[in-house]
Amino acid sequence: MKKYFSKIVIVSGIITVIIITRCSNDETPETSSEIVVPNIIKTESQLRDEAYRADPIYGNIKTLDDYWLAFKTIGETQYGYDFGNQEVKIITDLTIANSDSNRDDAAGIAFGSCKEGVIDVAINADYWSEYSFNRRLILMWHELGHDVLNAAHIEGERAIMNTPIPDEYDLDIFKKEEAELFNGTDLIFFDCDDPYFN
Ligand SMILES: [Zn+2]
């Protein structure tokens, strides 16, 4: 009889909990529906960035200098370059307002082209703050292409060394364009004897 009684207590206890839970749900329907809806829909750009972040090399990029380290790793391990020791200066000190008049809409400027052992890249902070990760990567590969590979702009196809630079690439297309930059398909060199660089 004692056992039977304690069972009733437990069962009625459970029923009470269910009723309380239901009541509290009924009282706050707006809150629960607000929690369910967001975070489901991602933009194409966000989905693209997730694919880049999952890549073992691009996924390690956190600081500005990390872009150079990733560029160096890919160039040296996959395309046979030896970039040697470089004095690296990559800063976001440009803005749309303070870019010089010839390049007032420049997203980035490479000052180290044709200078051995010097990487000197200025990034436009206004553009940078609005760019997705994969667009930042395109911009940095473009500027490091100028600065380290001495690559000039090319015309015609939608390549990393085009100007204006491409908006965004899916990861597989970026890797193809990256290969064509490093392997020379899309590489036209600056004339480093030009007084502009001296
Ligand atoms: Zn350029």
- pLDDT value at position 106? 86
How many CA atoms lie within 13 Å of 12's alpha carbon, on the beta-carbon side? 6
pLDDT of 55-99, one tens digit each?
999 999 999 999 999 999 999 999 999 999 999 999 998 887 766
Mean pLDDT value of segment 21-38 = 53
Band of the pLDDT at 34, cuts 50, 70, 90? low
Band of the pLDDT at 100, cuts 50, 70, 90? low
- pLDDT value at position 8? 45
Give the three-class secondary structure for 106: coil
- pLDDT value at position 31? 54
Give residue limits of the domains in the chain: 2-36, 44-197
Q: Around ion ligand 1, which residues have CB less than 5 A away?
A: 163
pLDDT of 108-130, one tens digit each?
999 999 999 999 999 999 999 99
**Torsion angle defined by CA atoms of residues 68, 76, 177 and 86, in that order, rounded to the nearest 10 degrees:** 30
Nearest to 163 by CA among 113, 114, 119, 103: 103
* Span from the CA of 161 to the centroid of ligand 1 (angstroms): 6
* Span from the CA of 32 to the centroid of ligand 1 (angstroms): 50
Alpha helices in the chain (DSSP H): 2-27, 29-36, 44-53, 64-78, 125-130, 133-147, 171-182
pTM: 0.77
**Residue 14: pLDDT above 90?**
no
* Span from the CA of 143 to the centroid of ligand 1 (angstroms): 6
- pLDDT value at position 17? 43
